[in-house]
Structure 1
Amino acid sequence: MLPAARTTLRKTFSTARALLSTSGTSNPLPATFLRGGTSKGIFLNRADLPENPSQWDPIFLGIMGSPDPQYGRQLNGMGGGVSSLSKICVVGAPSPVQKQQGFDVEYTFVQVGIRDSAIDISGNCGNLSSMIGVFAVDEGICVPSAVDARAGVATVRSFNTNTQKRIDTTFPVALSDGKCTPLLELEQAEVAGVPGMASQIVLDFVSPGGARTGKLLPTGNPVDDLSVTIPGMPPKHIRASLVDATNPTVFVAAEDLWTLLEFERILPDEFVSDEVADAVDYIRRAGAERMGLDPRAQAQPKIAVLSSPAHRERDAADIEIHAFSMGVLHKAVPMTVGLCLGVASGVEGTVASEIAKQARAAHERGGMLRIRHPGGIVEVGADFGPDGEVRSAKVVRTGRRLMKGVVWW
Structure 2
Amino acid sequence: MRQLRIPATYMRGGTSKGVFFVADDLPMNAAERDRWLLRIVGSPDAYGKQIDGMGGATSSTSKVVLVSRSSRPDCDVDYLFGAVSIGNPVIDWSGNCGNLSAAVGPFALERGLVTNPPKEGVATVRIWQANIGQKILARVPVVGGQVRELGDFMLDGVSFPAPEIELEFLEPEPAPGQPAPALFPTGNLVDELRVGNLPPVPATLIVAGIPTIFIAAASLGLKGTELPDVVNGLPDVLVRAEALRGAGAVAMGLARNPYEATRLRPHSPKLALVAPASSYRAADGRQMDGRELDLVCRIFSMGPMHHAMTGTGGLAIAAAAAIPGTLVHDLRRPGPTDSVCFGHASGRLRVGIQIEGSGTEWRVISTRMSRSARVLMDGWVRLPAEGLV
TM-score range, shorter chain: 0.7 to 0.9
Note closer, same or farther for the CA distance 1:129–1:266 as it changes in structure 2 (3 Å cut). Answer: closer
**Identical columns (%):** 36
- Displacement over 3 Å in runs of 4+: 263-270, 311-315, 385-388
1:371 to 330, 333, 342: 342
- For 1:240, the aligned partner's letter is A
Query: Which position in structure 2 is the counterpart of 1:392?
Result: 366
Quote the offset at 1:316 in angstroms.
2.0
1:145-160 paired onto structure 2 within 5 Å: 147=118, 152-160=121-129
Query: Which position in structure 2 is the counterpart of 1:186?
Result: 151
Query: Which position in structure 2 is the counterpart of 1:167?
Result: 136
Does residue 292 (structure 1) correspond to residue 253 (structure 2)? The answer is yes
Quote the offset at 1:400 in angstroms.
1.0
Q: Is the 1:208–1:392 Cα contact (8 Å) retained in structure 2? A: no
Q: Is the 2:322–2:337 Cα contact (8 Å) retained in structure 1? A: no
1:224 to 174, 181, 191: 191
Note closer, same or farther for the CA distance 1:265–1:79 as it changes in structure 2 (3 Å cut). Answer: closer
Q: Is the 1:144–1:155 Cα contact (8 Å) retained in structure 2? A: no
- For 1:405, the aligned partner's letter is G
Does residue 27 (structure 1) correspond to residue 24 (structure 2)? The answer is no
Partner deviation per Cα, 1:201-251 (whole Å, 9 max, x = no partner):
0111101799xx94211112111112222xxxx242110000101110000
Does residue 322 (structure 1) correspond to residue 277 (structure 2)? The answer is no
Q: TM-score, normalised by structure 1?
A: 0.82
1:279-358 paired onto structure 2 within 5 Å: 279-294=240-255, 295=258, 296=261, 297-311=265-279, 313=289, 316-356=292-332
1:244 to 182, 186, 207: 207
Query: Which position in structure 2 is the counterpart of 1:255?
Result: 218
Quote the offset at 1:50 in angstroms.
1.5
> Structure 2 unaligned runs (5+)?
175-179, 280-287, 384-389
Note closer, same or farther for the CA distance 1:245–1:267 as it changes in structure 2 (3 Å cut). Answer: closer
* Matches of 2:331 and 2:119, distance apart in 1: 39
* Matches of 1:315 and 1:191, distance apart in 2: 20
Query: Which position in structure 1 is the counterpart of 2:284?
Result: none
Helix, strand or coil for the counterpart of 2:292? coil
Partner deviation per Cα, 1:332-387 (whole Å, 9 max, x = no partner):
0111111111111111111111111xx245xxx66531111111111111111367
Q: Is the 1:209–1:215 Cα contact (8 Å) retained in structure 2? A: no
Partner deviation per Cα, 1:87-128 (whole Å, 9 max, x = no partner):
000000112xx1x2x110001101111111111101110000
Does residue 215 (structure 1) correspond to residue 182 (structure 2)? The answer is yes
Q: Is the 2:338–2:353 Cα contact (8 Å) retained in structure 1? A: no
- For 2:87, the aligned partner's letter is R
Does residue 401 (structure 1) correspond to residue 365 (structure 2)? The answer is no
Note closer, same or farther for the CA distance 1:283–1:314 as it changes in structure 2 (3 Å cut). Answer: closer
Partner deviation per Cα, 1:115-153 (whole Å, 9 max, x = no partner):
1111110111000011111101100112367x595xx11
2:108 to 136, 155, 169: 136
- For 2:305, the aligned partner's letter is L
- For 1:224, the aligned partner's letter is D
Does residue 110 (structure 1) correspond to residue 82 (structure 2)? The answer is yes
Q: Is the 1:209–1:216 Cα contact (8 Å) retained in structure 2? A: no
Helix, strand or coil for the counterpart of 2:128? strand
Could you say which structure has the larger radius of gyration?
A: 1
* Matches of 1:264 and 1:341, distance apart in 2: 18
Query: Which position in structure 2 is the counterpart of 1:55?
Result: 32
Does residue 76 (structure 1) correspond to residue 48 (structure 2)? The answer is no
Q: How many residues are paired up?
A: 358
- For 1:253, the aligned partner's letter is A
Note closer, same or farther for the CA distance 1:80–1:255 as it changes in structure 2 (3 Å cut). Answer: same
Q: Is the 1:127–1:397 Cα contact (8 Å) retained in structure 2? A: yes
- For 1:67, the aligned partner's letter is P
Q: Is the 2:119–2:143 Cα contact (8 Å) retained in structure 1? A: no
Q: TM-score, normalised by structure 2?
A: 0.86
Note closer, same or farther for the CA distance 1:265–1:302 as it changes in structure 2 (3 Å cut). Answer: closer
* Matches of 2:211 and 2:289, distance apart in 1: 33
Q: Is the 2:224–2:275 Cα contact (8 Å) retained in structure 1? A: no
Helix, strand or coil for the counterpart of 2:83? strand
Helix, strand or coil for the counterpart of 2:140? strand
* Matches of 1:53 and 1:264, distance apart in 2: 43
Partner deviation per Cα, 1:378-397 (whole Å, 9 max, x = no partner):
11111113674211011100
- For 1:126, the aligned partner's letter is G
* Matches of 2:366 and 2:194, distance apart in 1: 33
Q: Is the 2:63–2:83 Cα contact (8 Å) retained in structure 1? A: yes
1:204 to 137, 156, 168: 168
| Higher RCO (CA < 8 A, seq sep 6+) | 2
Note closer, same or farther for the CA distance 1:201–1:116 as it changes in structure 2 (3 Å cut). Answer: same
- For 1:390, the aligned partner's letter is V
> Quick check: 274-283 or 51-60, which moved more?
51-60
> Structure 1 unaligned runs (5+)?
1-17
Helix, strand or coil for the counterpart of 2:370? strand
Q: Is the 1:144–1:156 Cα contact (8 Å) retained in structure 2? A: no
